[in-house]
Amino acid sequence: MAAASDLAIDRTFYPGSGGGGGSGDYLNRPAFGGTSGGGGGGGALRVWSDTRITVNGRLLANGGDGGDAYIGTNRAAGCDPQPGAAGGGGSGGVVFLRAPTLTVTARAQVSAAGGVGGAGSLYATGGSGGAGGMGRIRLSVDPARCRLDGRFAPALTSGCAPSVGNGVAGRDFVASYPR
């Protein structure tokens, strides 16, 4: 089963996938320009405790940024532009926090965001890379013992309240502890 269809992360626990590389350079001049790499996929973080979890810093499973396009040259200067394109951003990974008591302080950040696509070149014909897709966040907590003041990416649609069904397209899922 694909990770995207298992938002509850009951059957899958996979990191994000890497972004696509940019297109190659000019066929007749392989020494000029080149392919820009895609960003790496975000990681897979699972933090479990039988008592409590307090997040006061950053828990990041973000995708990496794609590589920028080769600069190329200005046609007005008598040179042909190089057609290399920028790499795409890697997709976000997964963060799973499971404890009866969960506190995410106002200074904290929990993120599984996709990476930014690489910048295109002014003179290259390939263009910019696309952004990586959003990852997933799963919480398993007693709603009465949950406080979420920090920043989340993707944003939590229901805060500490348990999700309905198997999650939402917003890529977050909250279950009552110990599920």
Task: Give the count of domains, the chain.
Answer: 1
72 has a pLDDT exceeding 60: no
Distances (CA, A) of 135 to 40, 71, 83, 116: 13, 31, 31, 13
* Structural domain includes residue 16: no
> Measured on CA atoms in the order 9, 11, 13, 19, is the torsion positive or negative?
negative
Residue 11 in this model has a pLDDT that exceeds 90: no
Residue 85 pLDDT: 80
Residue 5: is its pLDDT beyond 80?
A: no
Contact 44, 93 (CB under 8 A): yes
Does residue 11 sit within a domain? no
pLDDT at 40 (0 to 100): 94
Q: What's the alpha-carbon Rg for the chain, to the nearest Å?
A: 20
- List the beta bridge partners of residue 94: 44, 136
Mean pLDDT is lowest, of 4-8, 69-73, 122-126, 169-173, for 4-8
Q: What is the value of pTM for the model shown?
A: 0.83
Residue 130 — pLDDT band, cuts 50, 70, 90? very high
Within a domain: 130: yes
pLDDT band at residue 150 under the 50/70/90 scheme: very high
**Does the residue 12 lie in any domain?**
no
Is residue 57 a part of any domain in this protein?
yes
Amino acid at the residue 62: N
* CA–CA dist 64, 42 (Å, integer): 7
Yes or no: say if 89 and 39 are a contact pair by the CB < 8 Å rule. Answer: yes
